[in-house]
Structure 1
Amino acid sequence: MRQPVGVILAGGQATRMGGGDKGRLVLGDRSLFAHVIGRVAPQVAELALSANGDPARLADLGLPVLPDSVAGHPGPLAGVLAGLDWAAARGATHLVSVAADTPFLPEDLVPRLLLAAEGGAPIVLAASEVEGRLVRQPTFGLWPVALREDLRDALARGVRKVGQWAGDQGASLAPFPADRIDPFFNINTARDLARARALIA
């Protein structure tokens, strides 16, 4: 399998943080966007950002901005579809998705997803390994471009849950240890941001 391309899912409305681009929040001396880009960009052939609204506001990030092709803010699956359409145009066979609000995401995310894919599953989702149990992280996945029309049809039917659609396709899980901190810890609230700042300090 060739090195996949990647997409950062940033199409949410961040209502619990007062709206706006959550990726602009500052953690340490950098934005969340900068943390995520710094960790995932070395792992993929090319990287894009899934976001809605005026793309000019994100021009400083230097990434292609991919709006949803499905109306009504249907959630992360629409961002995955936008990424798959972009990946197809780039001639890629697979896409890796990550969330924009996860500054501690694994620096070996893509190699471990690819290793898990050798088992033959069409989709691989990351999972935190917490005290012997796996907690699925559905916005972190390896997606084949070949399934993009199936996903388009599912969205048209009203499917909105990433895990539901991935499970219907026979997805497998790639475990990641969550020791001192869950590598998929995401920032949804001001309390989460404060905790992340304490951890990075």
Structure 2
Amino acid sequence: MYGPPYQVADRMQTAVLSQIAGGVSYTSTEICAVRGSTVEINCTYTYPSSSGDSGVYSCKSENQYGFTSTSLHLDVHYAPKPPSVSVSPSGEIMEGSSVTLTCSSDANPAAHYTWYKEDEDSPTASGQIFTITDITAEHGGKYQCEAQNTHGRSNTTLHLTVGAGKSVIIMNIIRLTLVVVLVPVLVWTLWTRMKKTLSLKSEVNEAVEMIEVS
């Protein structure tokens, strides 16, 4: 950052770098120059930047005759942080219902989102919000949300569990009822037929014996 040229009237003192957000050290120095000449004062700030360093910075130069300052906005770019994923509605997801998955990541510039399902090569969906309607048991499994920008990428995995819907539960109850009712009926029917067959054979044998005796 640079301050405008000064016309020197006397000994000049500079205070270097002030940050609006605070947390920056101040240094000062004295310069000597010939009265009536012009000097240029530079402010320099060197620091390993992080995402929290974005903000407005100002440089101020002053002496006993006044001061001048200039400011700039520092925009720090960084790769996406590990995303967080929310599921709506929360709790057990039932067959036939709808579910919305939302992925969010801290990134600058803003991240682009892609969804993948376990054991599938191509993306399942793109965008921060992924909605599945008329969900079935096949939709259950692991999903991965990937956040990406020009500086890198990061991902998070969640497991989606799909429970049986009301229609499925009703069908299972009907099947169980049929099994409980029909199996005994079938067994009784078979047993009755076997008894009749055995009785018929017995009668035939008796008739044959009577004919032989006669």
Q: TM-score range by the shorter chain?
A: under 0.3
Instruction: Give the number of the structure whose residues are more often strand, by fraction.
Output: 2
Q: Which has the larger radius of gyration?
A: 2
Q: Which has the higher helix share?
A: 1
